[in-house]
Amino acid sequence: MQKVRGGRFRVVVLWSVVALLGLTVGNTSAAQQLEGHWEGAIELPGTELEINLDFKKAADGSLDGDISIPIQQIRDRALVDISLDGAEAVFRIEGIPGDPTFKGTIADDGQTMSGTMSQGGGSFPFSVTFGEAIADKARAALENFGEVVERALKEFKTPGLGLAIVADGEVVLAEGYGFRDFEERKPADGDTLFAIGSCSKAFTTFLLGTLVDEGKLDWDEPVIKYLPDFRMKNDHSTRNMTVRDLVSHKSGLPRHDLVWYGSDASRRELYERIQHLEPFADLRERYHYQNLMFMVAGYLAEQIEGKSWEQLTRERILDPLGMKRSNFSVDDLPGDANSALAHGLDDDKVEAIPYRNIDTVGPAGSINSSPAEMARWLQVQLGGGEIDGTRVLQESTLREMHTPTTVIGGYPTDGKNLLTTYGLGWMMNAYRGHYRVSHGGGIDGFSAMVTVLPLEGYGIVALSNRGGTPASELVTRHAMDLLLGLEPEDWIGDAAKQQAEVEKVAEEIEDSDESLRVEGTSPSHPLEAYVGEYEHAGYGIFSVELGDDGGLTATYNGLVTQLEHWHYDVFNGLEGEGATLEDTKFLFRSGVRGEIEDLVVALDAAVDPTVFGKNADARLFDPEFLSTLTGRYKLATQVVEISLQGNVLVATLPGQPVYELVPAQGLEFELKGMTGFSCQFKENAEGKVDGLQFNQPNGVFTAERIED
pLDDT of residue 2: 36
pLDDT of residue 31: 54
What is the C-alpha separation between 204 and 328, in angstroms, rounded?
Answer: 12
What is the C-alpha separation between 596 and 534, in angstroms, rounded?
Answer: 10
The residue length of the chain stands at 708
- pLDDT tens digits along 354-394: 999 999 999 999 999 999 999 999 999 999 999 998 999 99
First-to-last alpha carbon distance for the chain, in angstroms, is 98
- pLDDT tens digits along 177-214: 999 999 999 999 999 999 999 999 999 999 999 999 99
What is the C-alpha separation between 197 and 182, in angstroms, rounded?
Answer: 20
Q: Is the pLDDT of residue 1 over 80?
A: no
Distances (CA, A) of 56 to 74, 138, 456: 19, 19, 21
pLDDT of residue 7: 34
Q: Mean pLDDT across the stretch 114-123?
A: 93
- pLDDT tens digits along 466-525: 999 999 999 999 999 999 999 999 999 999 998 888 887 777 666 666 778 999 999 999
Chain centre distance of CA 347:
28
What is the C-alpha separation between 610 and 700, in angstroms, rounded?
Answer: 33
pLDDT of residue 19: 32
Amino acid at 475: V
Q: Is the pLDDT of residue 460 over 50?
A: yes
- pLDDT tens digits along 329-354: 999 999 999 999 999 999 889 999 99
pLDDT of residue 23: 29
Q: Mean pLDDT across the stretch 310-333?
A: 98
DSSP collapsed to 3 states, 323-371: CCCCECCHHHHHHCCCECCCEEEECCEEEECCCCCCHHHHHHHCCEECH
How many helices and strands (H and E) does the chain possess?
A: 18, 39
Q: Is 240 helix (H, G, I), strand (E, B) or coil?
A: helix
Confidence of residue 96 (pLDDT cuts 50, 70, 90): confident
Q: What percentage of the chain has pLDDT greater than the value 70?
A: 94
Q: Mean pLDDT across the stretch 655-672?
A: 91
What is the C-alpha separation between 462 and 374, in angstroms, rounded?
Answer: 9
For 1, half-sphere exposure in the C-beta direction (CA atoms, 13 angstrom radius) is: 21
Confidence of residue 578 (pLDDT cuts 50, 70, 90): confident
Chain centre distance of CA 343:
20
pLDDT of residue 579: 72
What is the C-alpha separation between 343 and 196, in angstroms, rounded?
Answer: 14
Q: Mean pLDDT, the chain, as a whole number? A: 91
Is the Cβ–Cβ distance between 292 and 259 less than 8 Å?
Answer: yes
- pLDDT tens digits along 219-271: 999 999 999 999 999 999 999 999 999 999 999 999 999 999 999 999 999 99
Beta bridge partners, 56, equal 64
pLDDT of residue 411: 87
pLDDT of residue 10: 34
Q: Mean pLDDT across the stretch 290-313?
A: 98
Domains of the chain in start order, with CATH, are 8-131 (2.40.128), 159-469 (3.40.710.10), 527-615 (2.40.128.50), 619-706 (2.40.128.50)
pLDDT of residue 28: 43
Q: Is the pLDDT of residue 25 over 60?
A: no
pLDDT of residue 20: 28
pLDDT of residue 75: 81
pLDDT of residue 15: 36
pLDDT of residue 120: 86
Q: Whole-model pTM above 0.85? A: yes
> Looking at 147-161, 396-410, 445-459, 565-579, which range is the least confident one?
565-579
> Nearest to residue 556, comparing CAs of 543, 574, 570?
543
324's CB contacts (< 8 A; 6+ apart) are 318, 373
pLDDT of residue 14: 36
